[in-house]
Amino acid sequence: MSKKIFSGVQPTGNLHLGNYLGAIKNFVELNNKKENECIFCVVDLHAITVKQDPKELKKNIRETTATFIASGIDPKKSIIFNQSMVPAHSECAWILSCVSRIGWLNRMTQFKEKAGKDKEKASIGLYSYPVLMAADILLYDATHVPVGDDQKQHLELCRDIAQKFNNDFDSPNFLKTPEPLIQKEFSRIMSLKDGLKKMSKSDPSDLSRINLTDNKEQIINKIKKAKTDPMPMPSDQKNLSERPEAENLLGIYSSLVNQNLEKSINDFSGKNFSEFKDKLSDILVNEIEPVSKEIERLLNDQKYLDDILLEGSIKADKIASKKIKNIKQLIGF
C-alpha cells in the first residue's frame, strides 16, 4: 500500500546518532519504496522556539538538508524543503491553536523538559510547538509519520487536534489522522555518558553523542570513552534494564547491524567491554564516516543545497496552499 509520509527535523546543529537511528534511517527506507510519497521538512519555525543565532541557523538549515541527502534521501524522489518557505504552516498553526485546548498542551512532557524549572520564561512558541507540528502533518494529508519514540505524545495530540477540528466543523475525515511510524526496538538512543538520559543535541558534553559530522578518530574516541559498568558483557536480557549503558550500546550495535538484542547479547556474552567497543567502533565508522564526508562535500556547494530547498518548497507549497484554502473556506473566512 502506498503511504504519504511526512516528517521533520529541527536545524539546531549537532544532528546525532539518535536522530539517525531513531528517524533519518527510517526516512531513507521509506524514500526507497517506489510507491511512497515522501516529504521531509527542515523545521526552521520550530527551531526558533528557543533563541537562535541567525548566522548559525542559516548554516544549520543547509547542514540538515545536506544530512538528509548524505544519508540517502533522494531529492528527485522525495520533497525536501524548509518550513518557513511555505507560509501555510504558520497560518494553519494559528487556526489549529484555536481548536487545541490548553489542557492538552499542559500534558506535553517535552515542553516540561525543555522549559525546565522556570516555565514562565519559556517562549509561547515553545509551548505551542506541538500545534505547529500538527499543522505540518495535517496540511499534507500525511498517512504515516516516522519519528523517534520521544515524539509519540506529539503525534497523539496531532490526532486529537484533527478529530476535534473535523467534529467542530462537521467534516468527518477532512483532516486525516496520521499513524506514527516508530521502530519497535531502539527508537530511543541514550547518551553515551548516562544511559538514563536521551542522546540530545543540547547536551553540553560533546562526548555524550556521536554527531553525524564526526570523523573516524572522533567516533573511535567517543566509543572508547563511553560509560560502561565494571561487569563483563551481559549474557541475557534479565536485569539488563539495571545496566542502562550496556543496554544502550548493545541497542546501538543491534540497530546498526540490523539484528535483535538477543542475538547481539549472544555474540558478546561474558566478553570484555573493550572487545565489544572495538567492534562497535568499526561498525559505526563504516556507517557514519561516509555520511559525514558527504555532508562536508555537500556543504561546499551551497547553491546546490539552496536549489534543493527552493524546488522542494515550490512543490510543498502547491500541496499546502490548496489545503489551507479549503481549511479557510470551511471555517468561514
Q: Which residues are catalytic?
A: 114, 198, 201
CB-based contact 192:227 (threshold 8 Å): yes
Does the protein bind ligand TYM through residue 46 (CB under 6 A)?
Answer: yes
Does the protein bind ligand TYM through residue 45 (CB under 6 A)?
Answer: no
| Contact stretch for ligand TYM (CB under 6 A) within 164-172, 184-192, 261-269, 316-324 | 184-192
Please give the DSSP secondary-structure letter assigned to residue 119: G
Distance between CA atoms of 105 and 107, rounded to whole angstroms? Answer: 5
Neighbours of 205 (CB within 10 A): 10
Does the protein bind ligand TYM through residue 137 (CB under 6 A)?
Answer: yes
| Contact stretch for ligand TYM (CB under 6 A) within 114-122, 181-189, 233-241, 309-317 | 181-189
Does the protein bind ligand TYM through residue 10 (CB under 6 A)?
Answer: yes
Does the protein bind ligand TYM through residue 255 (CB under 6 A)?
Answer: no
Q: Which is nearer to ligand TYM, 147 or 219 (CB)?
A: 147
Beta bridge partners, 179, equal 144
Distance between CA atoms of 237 and 240, rounded to whole angstroms? Answer: 5
Q: Which is nearer to ligand TYM, 142 or 327 (CB)?
A: 142
CB-based contact 243:231 (threshold 8 Å): yes
Q: Where are the alpha helices (DSSP H) in 49-115?
A: 54-71, 88-97, 102-106, 109-115
Neighbours of 146 (CB within 10 A): 23
Does the protein bind ligand TYM through residue 145 (CB under 6 A)?
Answer: yes
Does the protein bind ligand TYM through residue 7 (CB under 6 A)?
Answer: yes
Q: Which is nearer to ligand TYM, 19 or 264 (CB)?
A: 19
Q: Which is nearer to ligand TYM, 116 or 332 (CB)?
A: 116
Q: Which is nearer to ligand TYM, 18 or 312 (CB)?
A: 18
Q: What b-and-e string marks burial along 88-123, b requiring 16 or more CB atoms within 10 Å of the CB?
A: bbebbbebbbebbeeeebeebeebeebbeeeeeebe
Distance between CA atoms of 252 and 262, rounded to whole angstroms? Answer: 13
Distance between CA atoms of 7 and 15, rounded to whole angstroms? Answer: 15
Of residues 13, 75, 148, 234, which one binds ligand TYM by CB under 6 A?
A: 148
Taking CB atoms, the residue at the shortest distance from ligand TYM is 22
Least spacing, CB of residue 295 vs ligand TYM, in Å: 16
Least spacing, CB of residue 189 vs ligand TYM, in Å: 4
Least spacing, CB of residue 228 vs ligand TYM, in Å: 19
Does the protein bind ligand TYM through residue 245 (CB under 6 A)?
Answer: no
SS3 40: strand
Of residues 38, 42, 66, 189, which one binds ligand TYM by CB under 6 A?
A: 189
Does the protein bind ligand TYM through residue 89 (CB under 6 A)?
Answer: no
Q: Which is nearer to ligand TYM, 133 or 250 (CB)?
A: 133
Does the protein bind ligand TYM through residue 19 (CB under 6 A)?
Answer: yes
CB-based contact 63:15 (threshold 8 Å): yes
Does the protein bind ligand TYM through residue 3 (CB under 6 A)?
Answer: no
SS3 82: strand
Distance between CA atoms of 35 and 269, rounded to whole angstroms? Answer: 41
The greatest distance separating any two alpha carbons of the chain, rounded to the nearest whole angstrom, comes to: 67
Total residues at the site for ligand TYM (CB under 6 A)? 24
CA distances from 56 to 14, 61, 309 (A): 12, 9, 17
Q: Which is nearer to ligand TYM, 23 or 299 (CB)?
A: 23
Which parts of 54-83 interact with ligand TYM (CB under 6 A)?
Answer: none
CB-based contact 309:86 (threshold 8 Å): no
**Which residues, other chains included, contact 119 with Cβ-Cβ below 8 Å and sequence gap of 6+?**
112
List residues near ligand TYM by CB under 6 A: 6-10, 18-19, 22-23, 43, 46, 133, 136-137, 145, 147-148, 150-151, 187-189, 198-199
